[in-house]
A and B are shown apart, each in its own frame.
Chain A
Amino acid sequence: MRRLIIIALILSSINCAFGQEKSRTYSKWHLKPAAGINTPITTLLSGEITDNLFEYDDYSFYLQFISGSYFFSQNWGVEMNIQFNFSRNISRRLDRFNAQIQSEYGDDYFVNPNSTAWYYDEDILTGSFPRMYLGLVYRIEIPKYILLPKLFIGLTGVYPDRGSAYLKEKGSHTTLELSYKQDKKSGDQFTIAPGISFGYRLSKRFVVNFDLLYSYFKTDFEFIKETRNTFTEEVWAETIDYKKDIHTVSMGVGLIIELNLEKR
């Protein structure tokens, strides 16, 4: 009951706010730099060694340098966003990969310190993964406030890399080579993302805004872990599935810069 009252109050306040007189001009172009955080509802990573081979993290913050909207009518427009999503875990994944190998096998094996992962993106210091969205946006505007509900489709980059480790059994000559390889289905994941932006007008051309975006993508790929006895050449293979539905909420703040003002 309390929730219903709160929702009713919010809706009525929005209704009051947007019931005011409309601005006399509207902008055809919006530039929208923004920054925010991504918080998972469901996670892709689940504590496996192979988690450290992803150039992806469930928790991240994003920077949205390249973003803009074009309104082909007073209310309807298209919007494109390119986000770079950063996480400290991505830049530290090599250390965590080695530490997790040590943790899993260290009781029975000596882990060769040259065990490593090969990353396609060599610049692991700035570890980031990209997101790109394109979609429709609807504009509801009064002089001080803007409401922008939107629906995007896009791509989320989930790029897995390769890893390997050499193990020597304690007290014997037995040596193993572990290798982790991904199948071909990984890479860019198709994403659906409805969202809404609330804006407060600071001046004629500048609006500060709060973005709320829900995104969904489905992963359907797997890692193949091979364990090879380097003497007998026996190979054991197992798969580590990443078949998951990933739901994420992104929240951020930004600035809308309005260009090309036109009279209504």
Chain B
Amino acid sequence: MRINKIIFLLTLPFLIELLVACCYCPDTVYYSYTNCSMTISVLNNSGPRPVVTQLNTIPKEAFGIRVEIHRNEYVCETTPANSLVFQSAYAMSCDCPPEFQFLPLDEITNLKITTVNDFDSEHPANADVTEYFYVSSGYEFTEIPDYVHNIQSELNGFVTPTLEFDLLLMYPPTLGSHHQFSIEVELSDGRFFNVETEVLELN
């Protein structure tokens, strides 16, 4: 009888933790990240999907720009929740919040594209041509302001820290064949990323 009591007392902590583990949500560990830099590539969308090209001559009906925003991780807070008895592995799903969450220190608030050369009769050199570019996701197109507004800034992982999207020129230029574009990204902390394409021949 005494042996049974001893065994029961020894196993009691395990049983309690097992019960708790059945629906225990570990605290979310928060990290933060920041947008560090921007690079762009020229796209040729003549094929089945847009591909980066090193050529400076591109069909104007198939021209696009790939934008990559490079982001770095900053660790702000960690709350380890280790058990004395078990490793933190739970078999039950309790609709817990994500274990990790990455919050931005700065957000993209605006993206503007200007033409360096005359584009068409309504858009001379240095005019804003943002409305002529659309963000492409497969077979759907989104206006740039809508895309910027809906960028998912809170991330549950940081596996692909670079934000990448394709801007396709949906209304080709009607003036000249040599064109250059300037892409400007504005961040919520007041910083700007500004990159220009090379001079391209859009024919």
Contact = CB atoms under 8 A, between A and B. Distances in A.
B140 A173 contact: no
Contacts of B46: 170-172
A172 B139 contact: no
A110 B47 CA distance: 8
A170 B47 CA distance: 6
Contacts of B61: 171-173
Interface in B48-95: 48-49, 59, 61-62, 64
A172 B45 contact: yes
Contacts of A180: none
Contacts of A172: 45-46, 59, 61-62
A173 B47 contact: no
Given A110-B48, A231-B134, A171 B139 contact: no
Interface string B148-186: 000000000000000000001110000000000000000
A166 B49 CA distance: 12
A231 B59 CA distance: 19
Interface residues of A, number: 12
B48 A231 contact: no
B141 interface: yes
A230 interface: yes
A172 B49 CA distance: 10
Contacts of A171: 46, 59, 61-62
Interface in A125-141: none
Contacts of B49: 168
Interface residues of B, number: 17
B136 interface: yes
Nearest to A172: B61
B62 A231 contact: no
Nearest to A167: B139
A173 to B, nearest CB: 5
Given A231-B134, A231-B170, A173 B45 contact: yes
Contacts of A175: 139
A226 interface: no
Given A172-B45, A172-B61, A230 B168 contact: no
Interface in A154-194: 166, 168, 170-173, 175, 177
B136 A173 contact: yes
B59 A173 contact: no
B170 A173 contact: yes
A114 to B, nearest CB: 10
Interface of A: 110, 112, 166, 168, 170-173, 175, 177, 230-231
Given A172-B46, A173-B136, A175-B139, 18 more contacts: A110-B47, A112-B48, A168-B49, A168-B139, A170-B46, A171-B46, A171-B59, A172-B59, A172-B61, A173-B45, A173-B64, A173-B168, A173-B170, A230-B139, A230-B140, A230-B141, A231-B134, A231-B141
13 contacts: A166-B139, A170-B46, A170-B47, A171-B46, A171-B61, A171-B62, A173-B61, A173-B62, A173-B64, A173-B136, A173-B170, A230-B141, A231-B141
* Shortest 5 CB-CB contacts between residues of A and residues of B: A110-B48, A172-B61, A175-B139, A171-B46, A230-B139
